[in-house]
Structure formats: structure tokens, C-alpha cells
Structure 1
Amino acid sequence: MKLLNDLDLEGVFLRTNRKVESGYKEAIIHKNQNFYYEKSAIMNETNQLQRRLKLRHVVAIGIAYMSPFAVFDTFGIASKVSSGHVPAAYIVVFIAILFTAMSYGKLVKKYPTAGSVYTYTKNILNPYLGIIVGWLTFIAYLALPMVNALLAKIYLSSVLPEVPGWIWIVGLIVVISILNIFGVELAASLNMIVVSFQFIVVVLFIYLNVRSILKGHEHFINLNELFPSGMEFFSIFPGAALLALSFIGFDAITTLSEETIEPKKTIPKAIIIVCSIGGIFFFTVTYFMQSLFPDVSVFHNIEGASPQIAYTIGGNLFLSIFTAGALFSVFASGLAAQVSASRMLYAMGRDNVLPNRFFGYLHPKFNSPVPNILFIGLLALSALFLDLTLATSLIDVGAFTAFSFVNICVITNYFRSKKPRSFGFTFGNLIGPLIGLCFIIYLWSNLNFESILFGFIWGLLGVLYLIISTGFFKKEPPKIDFEELEL
């Protein structure tokens, strides 16, 4: 076997992805129109993310990240905001968010790697901008474990008020961190079990709703009542803006591309499946809830309307089962969120945007980015000092940033593409992403001032880090042509 310095570099480029005897892989890095061999790209398979996830695993993680039980937490407020038309609001937000989901599907086919929107923006728009977008997006991945820890505290403290609340926060973060260290396949399998339990609880919830409607001689919402008429139709949109975050989760699975078998085929399919399951799930649950309680003003606390509904239709026994489902939802969402966040940090560490030795490290046995998992766990402990409102606003900023730039990247690709401008191509790569982007801009306009201010401060810190790490933009961030790497 010949050593690298005995090979013709031009021949190496033409034989990209050639496997050598030791199992190592070669990658050709394109920079400034020159091809050179990067030593850090030569790695043993045990030192890079391994493809183990199948479609069912990815879908389970996406649904868990989406946290289906959020539909219960938001029903009361959403019903008030939408004037009792929550199912219609979910239809609107599902259609709108589907365009962004399709944009993710297009980009993951081009860049099936762990970096998600950070990778897309870096390679399509600008390397520096990609880092800032990745920085802003990361705040959502970081905030979700905080939110889940806070929700666990709220749920469990209501059942066991004598136990200090901080124990539930620390306990959840420690458990999900340990489980994630043992590898993504274990996390995915656990999520499949937990998600299945949640769906069983929901089926029981719907059955009890239907029984109560029939027993109380109420009527199911018909097609004419589903959408408000006249000018009242526009009351749906504030509700849709509130409910848009229910669909966060389909985007997170793009960070699993490097650990998924046939990612160019599996991830886009999983994105549409997760989005569709979410849309059907949210509409179905709220349809029966709204049919039973068309006016949520009957509840003393509309923010806690769902537990009151659970008690009304099934008594204390079902309320206990319902609470268990909510806790399982929090656990699964926290597990999935940490998986996604650790993979995004790994991608940035591997690219030397963050210190490679720490953030780009993979455990040789578990094939998981252990330092990143521990780092995210430590940051999530800030939930001990934050409230639910602030933590939720962080998710808004990160998610809307990611959604915006994914659509912008697809639109940019449309104008760069040399393919014939057929109607189907134009709709899928220009009109659809524009519709998705307009809806996200509308969501931005509904954010409160505190959220925007915090997002601005967080983004400014990212800019300062970028200035320091690149010597006032004199050093260009590494840019890898992923299409040349083995997929």
C-alpha cells in the first residue's frame, strides 16, 4: 500500500471516497479553488458518527422532540385567542409550516450532515453568516431541555409538594444526560416506547371525550362551524401564531443525518411524516376538546384547562394517567432535544468553529459526543434560575431563525440553479419557500419585545466570538464540500 505522499494529488481527487486497507477514509476539501488533503478528515470509523438509525427511529425522535402533549398545555389559551377555533388554527399553521418542512427536505438531500441549518447557511449563503445562524439556532436546542425540566418540576411538585422543586430539575437533566451518553440508538428506542405510551393516553382521552359528548347530548363541530365566517376568519391567525411552536421537532431530526441510514432518502421522508402526524394529532385532539368545551371561559384557569378536562371526563383515575402521559412527554422531549443539540455542537466543533478537541470529540465506545452532552446538561441546569416564560421565548428566537434561513437558502439555490424553470420546480423552490418565509415573518412580528431583545443580545455575543476567533474576519471559516464526502 502506497503512502499519501507517493500518490498523485490529482488522482486522489478523482478517486474521492477511495477506501484504503486500514479502513480510513479520504476527504478532499475545496477551498479557494484548490484541493488539499486535510488530516483531520482522515478518521477511523469509530471516531465518526455511525449510521445506525432507521426511519422509525428518526420519526420517534422527531415526534418526541415535538412533545405532542403540548397540545394540552396550549389549548385553553389558544381557544381564547382564536375565539374557540383551535382546530381551524391548527389547520392553518400546519399548511403554513409544511412549506418550511419541505425546504428542510430539499436541503438535507444536498447536505446530509449533523449541522442542520448551520451547515446549509454556511455553504449556501456565507460561512460567517452560517456561524451566526448556528449560534442563534442553538439557543432553541439549549432552551428546550430547560423548558422540559421546568415542566417536570411543575407537574411533579403538584403531586409531591413536599419535595423541593430543584430535585426534579436536576434529576431529569442527569437521567437524560446519562441515557444520551450511551448512544443515539438507545435514546431513539426509548423514545419509541415513550411516544407509544403517549398515543395510548391520547386515544383514551379521545374516547372519554366522545363518550362525554354523546352522554351530555352535545354535538360535534360541523364543517360550517370549523372556520369562522366573515371578518372573524382573521381571528384564527393569532391562534396559529401561538400554536406554531407545536410543530418544532421536524427540523431537529436533520441533525441526525450523519447517524441515519440512507439520509438523503430517510430524513426528508421522516420530516414529512413527523409534520403530518403532528398535524393530524393536534387537529383530532382539539376537535373533540373544542366540541365538548366550545367556550373555555367555563374554566377558572384557562391555562390549566386540559387537566380540568381530563378530570371532568375521567375522574381522578384518568387524571393520574393523563399526568403520567405529560411526564413521559417531558422526558422524551428532553431526551430528543439533548440529542439534537449535542450533534449541532459536534458539527461546529468538527469544523473548528468551536474548539475541536472538546466539541468535536466522540466517545470511542458509545459513538456519542460525550463532552457536548455534559456541556448541554450543565447549561440546562440554568432552569434552576429561570421561569417558563423566558425559557419559552428562547425557543421562539432560535426556531424562527432556523425556519427563516432554511427558506432563504432554498430560494437562493433556486436563483443559482441552472435547471429549467418549470412550474413544479418554481413552486417547490421559490413560491413554496416564499410562502413559508412570509409565515415565519408573521411569527416574528408576534414575538414580545423581551424575546427579540434577548435574541439580539445572544446574537451580538455570537458576532463578538466570531470576530475574535477569525481575527476580525481575516481567517475564513473552513468550508467543506459535503457532496465529495462519502455518504
Structure 2
Amino acid sequence: MTTSAPTAQPVRLRRSLGLWAIVALGLGYMTPMTVFDTFGYVSDESGGVVPLAYLFALVVMLFTAISYGRMTRVYPSAGSAYTYASETIHPNVGFLVGWTALLDYLLLPLVNALLLRQYFEAFFPDISGWVWVSAYVALITLLNLWSITSTSRVNATLLVFQVVLILVFIGLAWGALNAGAGNGTPFSIEPLYHANTQIATVISAATIVCFSFIGFDAITMYTEEAKDANTVPKAIVLSLVIGGGLFFVAGWFTQSLFPSVEGLTEGTALPELAYSVGGMLFQILFVAAAVAAVAASSLASHASVSRMIYVMGRNGSGPISRSLSYVHPRFQTPAVAIVLVGVVSLFAAVADLDFVFSLINFGALIAFTVVNITVILHFAVRRREVKTAAQIVRNIVLPVIGVVLTVVLWLNISPDAMIYGLLWLSIGLIILLALTRLFRRPMRLSLEEDQVISTGDEGEDALLAEDRRRLDAAE
């Protein structure tokens, strides 16, 4: 009598994240302290209406957040826009969207390491930047390797610290305004609109600050690690609204207190702003909060991009794809993808911040546009849910508005961002041609963890289940 050996179960990501842990990861990724570091530049670009630029960007992102939430319910995968485009449009399109989005997701951990290098080089100019970058990247990589739970807890602690310091700044600014500084009152409408406000400059500034909102979309990368995948759409909206509220209020009080940015350093105004409202001690604490913000963003961005690489590797074939989709059996984290992100982040020791920033928004805005399009294709075209006024609004009007607004922002990004972004996209197209042998071989798509979850509509759930059966049969 013979018995067959039990089939080894594949190692999967651990479902350990609750709603607020995911929201905190999104907020950590967004880095609320950014509003102060970029204040001088954004105020000059917007014509002195920083909160209006954030408000415009927030409205654009809200339409896109709704689309992300809806597609997350349909395809609860860690692949985000890559998965939605692959499933709804075509796997080849999905690859190009994922490749373009990688430009932003891969660079943000590098940006954070670069910022930390600059902080420490200012204090210790005799020590090589390689030392700080290597030690910092190693620490962030090890924390991400250990477990998503530990990453989440450290991120939450750092996030609370920076939010507390932001609230203290607002309190000090309130007191200074009541004492006659700046506009002389916290209730002046000048930070939001004045006689010289121009819509063109506001949109231009909004293309800059939309970088600060990149993070709410990265929440979808944790779908396969959420205790309940139904909480992810709610976490997307919560992180966006809370983060947008912090940006708007902090921007309002800062602009009220500093209606003119003359004398402020354009790219690093944070220490000067802190000293102006609270003196030396508060400046030290505020800079410490900025370092905490960089660390929190590093943890969250490193975690999210490694999940995207993991899913893209899982959908490929060959030794490289198998390596990228490797999940550590003990820690249940995508170990090889995490280490790869760490290696890329080491280039922060030699990279130039202005050059890297010029690339960040290109892929994100393309991903946002495509996700809005997938909502239209999935619900309005494939499912033909356009029979009632409510369905037309949900499935056509709202995502079309999202497409238009994100395209407006995309067309207003800097020339450098457009040139280098298109170059990166061209490299992705060449890789796609090689992988598909000039489109003669189809891209493989394997969702594995993805399964249809309840949407609250029995008819829609049945249609989703039927779609999954068709996809499984096709595979």
C-alpha cells in the first residue's frame, strides 16, 4: 500500500493588518511634514495660496480614490493599478502601467534615504553620505523583512510623533497670528484666495503637491495582508481625507503666518518655519519630527513597492520571476523584492534630489488615469451597469471627472518629468516586446490570492463570481 506525499502548500503573505494599521501606513507614506519642507517652493509657484493648491489636488485625488476603492473590491490583489489594468484592459497594458508606476514607487524609498542623508550631512559634514545611507537602508530593509506587523507598529509610532508636532506648530501659529504676526488673524481668507490668484498657477502648484498624496493608492498593495479585504476601500478614503486635512490646515496657518516667502529657503523651509514660531527648542523637536516622517515614509513606501514587485514577479515565468515572487516561509514577507528595493535605495548616496523629484509624479498620474478608466470599462462597458441615473453617475460621470482632472495635472508636470518619464516608459515597452516575443506570446496573469469578495450587491457578486470562473478557465 502506498500513500502519496501531501502537497506542499504555497507560502502566502500573512493577513495581519487591521483598518487603522492600513490607514497609518497610508499616512506614513504621504508624509504630512512635507507641507513645511516644500512650503517656500509651493507658495511661490501658487502665488501665495498653498492651501488652495492642496485643496485642488485633494479634490482630484478623491475622485481617483473612489475608483481605487471600487476596483479593490473587484480584484483584491496586492498589484493595485497593475492588476486592474491587466484584468480589465489587457495584461500587456497592465505590465506597462505597472512598469510606469514602479518609477514612482521605487524612487520614493530612495528619496527618503536621500533626505535623511542630507539631514545628517548637515550635522556631520566630515562623515561620508555612504555611511548614513547604507546604515539607514539596511535598518529599513530589515524591519520590512521581519514582518509587516512590526513595520506597521514602528510606522504608527513615528506617525503619531509627527502629527503631534504639527498640531503644536498650528497652536503656536494661532497664538502668533492673534498677536498680530503675518495676516494678523487666523481667519483671513488671503491664504485661500486674493486678488492676484490665477487658476494656471494653482494648477501648476497642484501638480507639485499631488506628490504628497501619493500613498493613498499604495494602500491597495496591502490588500493580501489585510485581515478583512473589505476594509481596504475604506482605508483608502480615510487616509486621503485625514492626510488632505492635515495638509490643508497646516498650509493655511503657515501661509497666514508667512504671506510672503521672501527670506525663506525654497526647498528646506521647515527648520526656519519652526524657529520662527517656537525658537531653538521647538526647531530641534520639529526637525526630529521631520526625520521621523522620513523614516515612516521609508517603511511604508518600501513595503508597498516590494508587494507590487512581488505580484509582477508572480505573474511572470522563469528564474527571475520566481525569485521576485519568493515569500519567506517564516516571516511571510516578499523577501527578495524587499531586498531589491533596498539595493535601489542605496543609490541615494549619489543621487540628486531635484532630478529624482522630476520623475516621481509621471507614473503616479498615469496610474491614476488608468484606474479611473478601468472603472468605466469594468462597470459601464463589461457589466453594462448604465440603466439608472445612479449607475451612470457612479460608473461613468465620476470616473470621467477623475480622468479629466488627472490628465490636467499630468499635462502640467515639468518638462524634465515628461522627458524622463517617457524614456522610462519606452524601456518598459522594449522589455514587454522581449517578454512577449513581439506580442506573439501572451503575458501570464495569476492572481492566486485574489478572490471575489462581497460588494453588498447580490447581482454584482454573482457577475464577479462568473468573471472569476471565466478567468480561471482561461488560465
Per the normalisation by structure 2, the TM-score is 0.89
Matched letter for residue 79 of structure 1: S
Q: Identify the residue that residue 350 of structure 1 maps to in structure 2.
A: 314
SS, match of residue 351 in structure 2: coil
2:399 to 433, 436, 457: 433
Matched letter for residue 93 of structure 1: A
Q: For residues 426 and 215 of structure 1, do their structure 2 counterparts lie closer, same or farther at Cα, with a shift above 3 Å needed? A: same
Q: Identify the residue that residue 434 of structure 2 maps to in structure 1.
A: 468
Q: Could you list the per-position Cα deviations for residues 387-423 of structure 1 after superposition, in whole angstroms to 9, with x for gaps in the alignment?
A: 0012112221221121121111112222222324322
RMSD between superposed Cα atoms in Å: 2.3
Q: Identify the residue that residue 242 of structure 1 maps to in structure 2.
A: 208
Provide the rounded CA distance (Å) in 2 between the counterparts of 1:282 and 1:433.
24
Provide the rounded CA distance (Å) in 2 between the counterparts of 1:207 and 1:50.
41
Q: After the TM superposition, which segments of 4 or more aligned residues of structure 1 sit over 4 Å from their partners?
A: 480-484
Compare 170-179 and 407-416 and name the one that shifted more. Answer: 407-416
Q: For residues 229 and 51 of structure 1, do their structure 2 counterparts lie closer, same or farther at Cα, with a shift above 3 Å needed? A: same
* Structure 2 counterparts to residues 451-462 of structure 1, below 5 A: 451-462=417-428
Q: For residues 340 and 449 of structure 1, do their structure 2 counterparts lie closer, same or farther at Cα, with a shift above 3 Å needed? A: same
Provide the rounded CA distance (Å) in 1 between the counterparts of 2:27 and 2:133.
22
Question: Are 1:374 and 2:339 an aligned pair?
Answer: yes
Provide the rounded CA distance (Å) in 2 between the counterparts of 1:419 and 1:450.
41
**1:50 Cα deviation from its structure 2 partner:** 2.1
Contact 1:166 1:384 in 2 (8 A): yes
SS, match of residue 367 in structure 1: coil
1:321 to 285, 288, 300: 285
2:260 to 295, 315, 329: 295
* Structure 2 counterparts to residues 265-280 of structure 1, below 5 A: 265-280=230-245
Provide the rounded CA distance (Å) in 2 between the counterparts of 1:148 and 1:473.
38
Question: Are 1:63 and 2:27 an aligned pair?
Answer: yes
Matched letter for residue 226 of structure 1: L
* Structure 2 counterparts to residues 109-120 of structure 1, below 5 A: 109-120=73-84
**1:162 Cα deviation from its structure 2 partner:** 2.7
Contact 2:36 2:273 in 1 (8 A): no
Provide the rounded CA distance (Å) in 2 between the counterparts of 1:89 and 1:64.
21
Provide the rounded CA distance (Å) in 2 between the counterparts of 1:236 and 1:286.
14
1:126 to 59, 74, 90: 90
Q: For residues 153 and 48 of structure 1, do their structure 2 counterparts lie closer, same or farther at Cα, with a shift above 3 Å needed? A: same
SS, match of residue 160 in structure 2: helix
Q: What residue ranges of structure 2 are gaps of 5+ in the alignment? A: 454-475
**1:481 Cα deviation from its structure 2 partner:** 6.8
**1:234 Cα deviation from its structure 2 partner:** 4.6
Q: Could you list the per-position Cα deviations for residues 451-470 of structure 1 after superposition, in whole angstroms to 9, with x for gaps in the alignment?
A: 22222222222222222222
Provide the rounded CA distance (Å) in 2 between the counterparts of 1:369 and 1:484.
17
Q: For residues 447 and 486 of structure 1, do their structure 2 counterparts lie closer, same or farther at Cα, with a shift above 3 Å needed? A: closer
1:207 to 171, 174, 182: 171
2:302 to 334, 338, 341: 338
SS, match of residue 226 in structure 1: coil
Q: Identify the residue that residue 196 of structure 1 maps to in structure 2.
A: 160
* Structure 2 counterparts to residues 29-428 of structure 1, below 5 A: 44=9, 47-216=11-180, 218-223=184-189, 226-228=192-194, 232-263=198-229, 265-297=230-262, 299-352=263-316, 355-413=320-378, 414-428=380-394
Provide the rounded CA distance (Å) in 2 between the counterparts of 1:140 and 1:362.
23
Matched letter for residue 305 of structure 1: A
Q: Could you list the per-position Cα deviations for residues 265-291 of structure 1 after superposition, in whole angstroms to 9, with x for gaps in the alignment?
A: 211000000000011101111111111
**1:60 Cα deviation from its structure 2 partner:** 0.9
Contact 2:144 2:338 in 1 (8 A): yes
Q: What residue ranges of structure 1 are gaps of 5+ in the alignment? A: 5-20, 25-42
Q: For residues 231 and 140 of structure 1, do their structure 2 counterparts lie closer, same or farther at Cα, with a shift above 3 Å needed? A: closer
Per the normalisation by structure 1, the TM-score is 0.87
Q: For residues 430 and 229 of structure 1, do their structure 2 counterparts lie closer, same or farther at Cα, with a shift above 3 Å needed? A: farther
Matched letter for residue 280 of structure 1: G
**1:340 Cα deviation from its structure 2 partner:** 0.7
Q: Identify the residue that residue 37 of structure 1 maps to in structure 2.
A: none
Aligned-residue identity in percent:
36
SS, match of residue 303 in structure 1: coil
**1:483 Cα deviation from its structure 2 partner:** 9.5
Provide the rounded CA distance (Å) in 1 between the counterparts of 2:285 and 2:107.
27
Q: Could you list the per-position Cα deviations for residues 216-262 of structure 1 after superposition, in whole angstroms to 9, with x for gaps in the alignment?
A: 36212434763235873554222222211111100001011011122
Provide the rounded CA distance (Å) in 2 between the counterparts of 1:483 and 1:92.
36
Q: For residues 341 and 233 of structure 1, do their structure 2 counterparts lie closer, same or farther at Cα, with a shift above 3 Å needed? A: closer
Provide the rounded CA distance (Å) in 2 between the counterparts of 1:161 and 1:262.
48
